[in-house]
Amino acid sequence: MRVQVTVHELGGSTRLRRVLTPADPLRRTHQSRLLWAHTGALIGSRADLLRLGALVRLAAVSPHSALYLPLRGNPRSAYAEQWKLADLVVVRGDVPLRRSAWPAVRSRLRHGRARTVDTPAPRDEARPDDWRRDRRALGVTEFADTVFLAGTAEALLEAGDELTRCGNQVAVNPDIHRSGGPALLSQFDGPDRHAGPRRDEGWECMVLAEDELFKRPQAGG
């Protein structure tokens, strides 16, 4: 899939050299905070979920980049009205990005150059049963109204594939056809590595879809 991104070069000699943002914002996507109640949700339209899947796979193969999705300012759907919303950053675990440094990095993203890039295609093979084990686990941290999703390249590729699968499910989902959603399509989960003494606590992120474009007209309507 080809996507348009804006590339913000950071300069310097650190391994985090650039931040990528979608050239066309994902305006129908919301990300809730996850760690305040150990549960939350990502919700999007079919088009946004498909594009998000491609962008997450791009982050997976970008060893010097972070993907930044500014989502907090999106118009809220009724379902997301009560959520504590956040922006989303997706980054490989081997890319050094101190969460406390993120506000300063974010403040530098005023100018960038537009590029059209090819993202890795979703893989057709079935996911292995052990894809959620530690070597592929996704990790979540939060800071400055931002959810940071990190993992190995393989973990992010798997997450991108799953988001693409969810996007493809929207067109055939009965809940979407009936009411436009929200419809639960999948779920990500993992350990909360910053839970202090509550090391057994984890987090879960439901993947939901809302899309009025696929809502069937009601009889007599």
Contact 178, 221 (CB under 8 A): no
132 contacts: CB under 8 Å, gap ≥ 6: 189, 190
User: Given pLDDT bands bounded at 50, 70 and 90, which one contains residue 200?
Assistant: low
Check residue 206 and report its DSSP letter.
E
pLDDT reported for residue 193: 66
51 forms beta bridges with none
Task: Provide the residue type at 207 as one letter.
Answer: V
pLDDT, mean over the chain: 90
User: Given pLDDT bands bounded at 50, 70 and 90, which one contains residue 170?
Assistant: very high
Contact 25, 36 (CB under 8 A): no
The DSSP bridge pattern shows strands 85-92 and 146-151 to be parallel
Tokens of 44: 């999007």
Residues 216, 213: Cα–Cα separation, whole Å: 8
SS (H, E, C) 10-77: CCCCCCCCEEEEECCCCCCCEEECCCCCCEEEEEECHHHHHHHHHHHHHHHCCCCEEEEECCCCCCCC
Tokens 């804006």 appear where?
Answer: 6
Residues 57, 156: Cα–Cα separation, whole Å: 6
For residue 101, pLDDT beyond 80: yes
Share of residues in the chain with pLDDT > 70 (%): 88
pLDDT digits (tens, 9 = 90+) for 2-36: 999 999 999 866 789 999 999 999 999 999 999 98
For residue 219, pLDDT beyond 80: no
